[in-house]
Structure formats: C-alpha cells, structure tokens
Amino acid sequence: MHDEPIDPFNGDPADPAAGLDDPGDDAPLDPLTEVERQDVLEDLADLEIYQALLSPIGVRGLVIECEDCREPHYFDWDLLRGNLRHLLSSGRPRVHEPAYDPDPDHYVTWDYARGYADGVHDTLTESAGDDTDSDD
Ligand SMILES: [Zn+2]
C-alpha cells in the first residue's frame, strides 16, 4: 500500500529529509501568549455556563462564523471544549472540524449564549427572595 516514491536516502543518516517524517503534530509551534491563554481559559469557563444553561432547552452547541471559509461552523459542546483545550495545549486552533451534518436550529452564537446567560443572571438576581410560583 506504499505508493510514495522510494526515498533514495532511506536509512542514510545524511538523509536531508531525516526528521521531517514526523513533524510532531502536538509540538507547540507558536505558543499562546499569556493574554491569549487567559482568553481561552475564560472561553472554557463561559462554555461550561452556556452548556449548563442552554443544553436543557435543546441547544447542542455554538455556531461560529469562520473567517477563513466565510461560512458558519457548528460545534457541539464537547467539540468546542476539545478545540479550546487543544488550543491551550498546542497553541493552534482546530476550527475546521465542525459537527457532522448539524441542525442549525440547535446551535446559537457566542453572543446569543452570552446574552442568554446575562439574562438568566439578571432574572435570578431580580427574583432573589421573590417566592412566586411560576408555572411557565
Ligand atoms: Zn472554516
């Protein structure tokens, strides 16, 4: 099953390609700055909140407008978390692995999630100590 041309330097210690075979996908190419790391950590923390608030109402993840593709990419919560952790450990984003065949109705933007979380927070703050039984 090896269709690549035979390397004439194969086994030769002077092989100019030696060491290029395995570029090491996990090697940190361009580590995040401290500020970038902090941003990612905040995103991860926000993500926990959004998932806790939104998944009970049927939201499966977030949709992100991709600057490269100019298309929306849909990410499940787990995928988003995995991507952010990957970014933390490798310094590189992994944005082009969106969910398979997503249903757009089940995904919201970061802005929507943030607004929703803020709204819930306000509601909780306002109704603190308020003991009404709401049936909706
Ligand atoms: Zn993309």
pLDDT digits (tens, 9 = 90+) for 62-94: 998 888 888 888 999 999 999 899 989 888 777
CA 84 to ligand 1 center in whole angstroms: 15
CA 81 to ligand 1 center in whole angstroms: 17
Rounded to whole angstroms, how far apart are CA atoms 7 and 9? 5
Residue 63: phi and psi, rounded to 5, are: -105, 130
Q: What pLDDT, on a 0 to 100 scale, did the predictor assign at position 16?
A: 56
For the chain, strand residue ranges (E) read 61-66, 71-76, 107-108
Q: What pLDDT, on a 0 to 100 scale, did the predictor assign at position 6?
A: 62
> Tens digits of per-residue pLDDT, 86-136?
989 888 777 566 666 789 999 999 999 999 999 988 988 887 665 555 555
CA 30 to ligand 1 center in whole angstroms: 20
Q: What pLDDT, on a 0 to 100 scale, did the predictor assign at position 1?
A: 57
Rounded to whole angstroms, how far apart are CA atoms 16 and 71? 40
pLDDT at 4 over 70: no
Residue 5: band (very low, low, confident or very high) from pLDDT cuts 50, 70, 90: low
CA 94 to ligand 1 center in whole angstroms: 9
CA 97 to ligand 1 center in whole angstroms: 8
Q: What pLDDT, on a 0 to 100 scale, did the predictor assign at position 63?
A: 93
> Tens digits of per-residue pLDDT, 8-58?
656 655 655 555 545 555 554 568 899 999 999 999 999 999 999 999 999
